[in-house]
A = this chain, B = another copy of it.
Amino acid sequence: MDAGNKTQRIAIIDLGSNTARMIVMQAVSGFSYRLIDEIREVVRLRQGMANGRLSHEAISRATFALRLFKRYCDSAGIDHIIATATSAVRDAENGEMFTSQIEQELNLPLRILDGEEEAYYGALGVLNEVPLEHGFVVDIGGGSAQITAVRHQQIKERQSVPLGALALTEQFVDSDPISEESLNQIQCHIDHHLQKIEWLEQASVHGENLMIGIGGTIRNLAKVASVKRAHPLNTLHGFQLKLTEIEDTIDALAKRPLKERQQIQGLSKDRADIILPGAMVIRAIMEKLNAESITISQNGLREGLFFEHFWEHLTYPVVTNVRRFGVLNMARNYHYQKAHSQHVRYLAGRLFNQLAPLHNFGPAERELLDASALLHDLGTIISYHDHHKHSQTLIVNSGLPGFTPREIALIALLTRYHRQGTPARREFKSILSHEDKLILLSLSAILRLAEYLERGRNGRVDDVTAVWDDETMRITLIADEYPAVEIWEAEKKAVKHVEAAYGRKVILESATAP
């Protein structure tokens, strides 16, 4: 599981206005990473901050949480700690006094991020998870909101505004349900601050421009919508939240007292009291940018800070191809059999290209086939029996950075059918079309044939060529020695699927004497 480099455990601590969070990543720099632990503590730093200073109580809650995190890191032998504080500490007059006290007391250097840095790291997290060429990243936090404009994968503009969900709630909300008047005041306040961002005025979301959302408020709004839609994946990764869905949730929240709001399916109980102003901020930004939907990213500030460390050897800490690296990272984390998987990918790719006149698919489908070839055997980490089913489970549970839910479902199903079963859309019907079923049939036939042509797991079949007429497809295997195991297994387990998918009788032959 490494590339010559050392496996490190890196803790990233983020002292937010409402919550202190720590994530622990296990990583080999530039090679692979995975989340291995997570702790959160509610600290409510803004409570009693009316006079512009962190209160004594707030300081002791924060100190307590940070001491806890630091002790965890010390005793677990964490290799590297990155600790930052955001809006509440940054806004407080005594913020720097607080951080130097923390550094002295706990031996924990705590870096205060300014608004632009906070926006930068949030966007960095996103750019390492979503293939974002051009677009906008919106992060609704507790104390502030950050908006970033991305051009050519680079962060072009960034702005922090005092529009955090918690800050707005504390400033304007004093009744339950929230009064019409409060709502108007919040809306005015939002509009006022957004108007001040000049570059936002000319911007709009259209075509290849995307809008990406991060932070708990947006994730939770997406969760509410995903429950309504019965979204079939266990991850919100790549979920597209529609403006109309946000409006529906705002309507539902605005009219109800807290107790009823807490009953809304998917809404987390400890957000029910503060989420409405946050939802209004997103709506306002989306309207300003003419965005009809916003795509969810799981990554944010903490992951951005992590990636700066993970890609330390790069001048710009963003992976060039999120999707390729995401697949590779998953394969590496699950200890894939590299040579076998790569050879299956090679043979499948050769068949895909040669059969193009029959299936008419292009680079997008080829990418799904490549990903599923690298990931097809992941499930063996659970057990050999039914490992094709386990591969599906693993992919559906983890998601795949950069891919849409539809693409994740297709990759998962391709691995599901790589060795047996009749391909069907199953539980993913709501996100897969009829054309997707055709993709599944055509590609799973190719993947299954490639898998059985690599049955001995040793690259015995060097290459493959396919020629056909209206009735017959002749597939010739090139090998040093007669590939007996491969031909026999492919004939038994794969040929009839290729025949069904491509409507021709298949003949396998070897270019080597038996």
Contact = CB atoms under 8 A, between A and B. Distances in A.
A384 B484 contact: no
B36 A67 contact: no
A397 B384 contact: no
Contact of A67 (B460, B484, B489): B484
Nearest to A77: B458
Contact of A485 (B35, B75, B398, B488): B75
A34 interface: yes
A312 to B, nearest CB: 23
Contacts of A37: 384
A93 B122 CA distance: 78
A250 interface: no
A75 B386 contact: no
A38 interface: yes
A488 B75 CA distance: 15
Contacts of A382: 382, 393-394, 397-398
A456 interface: yes
Interface in A25-45: 34-39
B397 A38 contact: no
Interface string A93-127: 00000000000000000000000000000000000
Contacts of A458: 75-77
Given A383-B397, A383-B398, A384-B34, A485 B72 contact: yes
A380 interface: yes
A6 interface: no
Nearest to A340: B76
A75 B460 contact: yes
A485 B36 contact: no
A395 to B, nearest CB: 11
Interface residues of A, number: 35
A485 B34 contact: no
A418 interface: no
A384 B488 contact: no
A67 B484 CA distance: 9
A196 interface: no
Contact of A71 (B386, B393, B485): B485
A381 interface: yes
Contact of A38 (B71, B381, B384, B398): B384
B397 A484 contact: no
A457 interface: yes
Given A455-B72, A456-B75, A458-B75, A381 B381 contact: yes
Interface of A: 34-39, 67-68, 71-72, 75-77, 234, 380-386, 390, 393-394, 397-398, 455-458, 460, 484-485, 488-489
7 contacts: A36-B380, A72-B455, A72-B456, A72-B485, A75-B485, A77-B458, A393-B393
Given A68-B488, A76-B458, A381-B381, 11 more contacts: A34-B384, A35-B383, A35-B384, A36-B384, A68-B484, A68-B485, A71-B485, A72-B455, A75-B456, A382-B382, A383-B398
